Amino acid sequence: MQPSATIRQRVHAFLAANPDEAVLRWIFRSVVTITIVVLAADLTGMNGWIGTTDPAAEVRQDTPSLDLPDIVPSILAPLTPDGGKRLTSRPQADGVMAKPMTFELVGGGKLMATGTITPGISEAFAAEVGKRGDYIKTVVLNSPGGSVADALAMGRLIRERNFATEIEPGQYCASSCPLVFAGGVERRVGDKAIIGVHQVAAIGSAGGLPRDEMNVAQNISARCQRYLGDMGVNLQVWVHAMETPHDKLFVFKPDELKSLNLATAAAAVPSATAPRPAPAKVRS
């Protein structure tokens, strides 16, 4: 005899042997038991006690974040496309990009500025310009951003010294880095270079205590707007920044860079075979 037939026979025998009231009580208890089991399973899933499938969480895991020191108001950096809005999630900065910005003077009067704009790096930049300013013609940026205050100071000095700025093909300038880039009297962008902005993030103080984030963010935002206006850049650039969450990045299209006067020229395409010129020999 099939198991299903046996079960049906037992159910029929049970119903025949029990009064209607007992059957109803049995059905009610069964429904209550099933309901409790379902609710318990839902509660367990919501609290993360058992595995759940969260597509958004999977995307976040595939797009690791950039960790910067939480000590100053900063614009933090990002990089992976996000839907039709051209927003990006924070990328993992590794190698030289995760380290404080370094400066190397190479042939053609180019000062290569590579890495994170850490607090105080503007002083190192000023010292470099003080030593090598007669040789520098262009500041070439490749940076995930960092300290806004230092980015503004670097951009001001670049404009004061009449340097050009450049982002080479395939490189990127994100977060506060475009503020440095805006300082150039001529601003060159290479093919497939990435330039992106987002909101100012007011980070806690060195002691880890909360600060008046709204006041700090508004003050920094006003300074950035005034700076961009002084540099001749369309303030729509800052509108895009303020509309983009600080853990995302708004990436400009090439035509937008030109229409907003953020880019004024295209960067020269480096030769695929020619090595980078050796650093110029200068006296310290």
- What pLDDT sits at residue 2? 56
Q: For residue 69, what are the CA distances in angstroms to 21, 39, 220?
A: 70, 43, 18
Residue 32 confidence class, pLDDT cut points 50, 70, 90? low
* pLDDT beyond 50 at 265: yes
The arithmetic mean of pLDDT across residues 101-113, rounded, is 96
- The whole model's pTM is what? 0.64
Measure the CA–CA gap between 282 and 132, rounded to whole angstroms: 7
What is the average pLDDT score of the chain?
A: 74
Residue 179 has pLDDT above 90, yes or no: yes
pLDDT-derived band at 28 (thresholds 50, 70, 90) equals low
Per-residue model confidence (pLDDT) at position 132: 92
Kindly state the percentage of the chain with pLDDT values over 70: 57
Dump pLDDT digits (tens) for 51-104.
333 333 222 222 233 333 332 333 333 333 343 456 655 455 567 788 999 999
Residue 138 confidence class, pLDDT cut points 50, 70, 90: very high
Cα angle: 164, vertex 146, 225; to 5 degrees: 65
Predicted pLDDT at 77: 34
Range of weakest confidence among 171-185, 188-202, 231-245, 248-262? 188-202
Element (H, E) at 180: helix 177-181
Return the C-alpha torsion angle 152, 172, 205, 157, nearest 10.
-20
Phi, psi of 196 (to 5 degrees): -145, 155
pLDDT in tens, 186-238: 999 999 999 999 987 654 444 444 556 778 778 888 999 999 999 999 999 99
